[in-house]
Amino acid sequence: MSFDPHNVDLDTADPTDIVCYLNSEGNEYNGQLGARISAIFVIMFISSAATFFPVVAQRVPRLRIPVYVYLFARYFGAGVIVATAFIHLLDPAYDEIGPASCVGMTGHWADYSWCPAIVLTSMMMVFLMDFGAERYVEIKYGICREDPEPIMSTGGEVRRVDSRVSGRHADDKQAKEIESQSEEVAIERSVRQQIAALLILEFGVIFHSVIIGLNLGVAGDEFATLYPVLVFHQSFEGLGIGARMSSIPFKKGSWLPWFLCTAYGLTTPISIAIGLGVRTTYNPGSYTANVVSGVLDAISAGILVYTGLVELLARDFLFDPHRTQDNKRLAFMVISMLLGAGIMALLGKWA
């Protein structure tokens, strides 16, 4: 017998039928087309400006941005990324495909807790990519962790440069050249790692931006609240991406930072426009929409959890050999990070 939502016996009804019925209602689009169209341009301008600001400030010295403004943008953004992973991605993923959702109660989705499994898989994939990239650089440039002296390759023959031997058989000029080459390799290795981490970070954030853009396009009465909240939401995330980008010493004239800033600034507005285009047919609560958005949110959560905790917090605060020893500056960095995480967590109440 089919489920009758108007005649339910709670003692005999299947909870899955009730949950799926509540989720299957169509979108709550209620007009306000002009305001929704304005959201495309407002969010595009504000989020792009927040993303470009740290990059431009770092590349245009005459702007004379105070160092503490830059530090605030960088570490506030790091806190935003961490909070986004847990509050804006992990929690919605559980709502969409977790054990208490319609998806999580039906079919093979009910056989296993797939949401944390997807998050775990995503984290492990990012780790393997990060580790693989680092190992590739070590092999390519002959860097040996056990021995700080590099292994130099000359004419196809690999030989270890031992400081004691070079001291007796190489002149000072040759020794300086070797040290200079080692430094260049170390710098290039660091830059490549930072760029890879940035690409992974933006990939995870863009997934999330697509979903919230679509939902804003078809939102109902909550649109009035969701609109300003998402302006701040996207601006803070953009600030985090831009600040991280500005800390990477790209080659002079590189187009990559400008492309990445532009891509982030356009993703949500384009998604809002798509949402408006399908406003009469798109149902964000449908089974298919929940599966797609739940899986994407879980993947993005894994990416941002790893990137936020490992690449941003651990690398900057715990493992950076050049970290400042100025307690005042360190305190400012930590407070900025906590403020970013706190404000982004608060925004999770509405979006």
Q: Which residues contact 37 (CB under 8 A, 6 or more apart)?
A: 276
Hey, what's the torsion of the CAs at 338, 341, 345, 347, to 10 degrees?
110
**How far is C-alpha 346 from the chain's CA centre?**
18
CB 17 within 8 A of CB 243: no
Burial string for 173-188 (b: 16+ CB within 10 Å, else e) reads eeeeebeeebeebeee
**SS3 (DSSP) at 1:** coil
Q: Give me the pLDDT at residue 177, please.
A: 62
**SS3 (DSSP) at 198:** helix
Phi-psi region of 238 (alpha: psi -120 to 50; beta: other; left: phi over 0): alpha
Q: Give me the pLDDT at residue 175, please.
A: 57
Q: Give me the pLDDT at residue 141, please.
A: 67
3-state secondary structure 168-183: HHCCHHHHHHHHHHHH
Dist CA 129 CA 260 (whole Å): 20
CB 283 within 8 A of CB 102: no
Dist CA 208 CA 96 (whole Å): 14
The count of other CB atoms within 10 Å of the CB of residue 239 is 24
Q: Tell me the two tokens of residue 263.
A: 């891509």
Residues of the chain with pLDDT under 50: 148-161, 163, 165-166
Q: Tell me the two tokens of residue 220.
A: 């109902």
The count of other CB atoms within 10 Å of the CB of residue 285 is 16
Q: Tell me the two tokens of residue 108.
A: 């093979």
Over the stretch 282-315, which tens digit does the pLDDT of each residue have? 888 888 889 999 999 999 999 999 989 998 899 8
Strand partners for 191: none
Provide the CB-side half-sphere exposure for 241 (13 A, CA): 33
Tell me the chain's radius of gyration from C-alpha atoms.
25
**SS3 (DSSP) at 154:** strand
Q: Tell me the two tokens of residue 117.
A: 């499994």
Q: Give me the pLDDT at residue 5, please.
A: 73
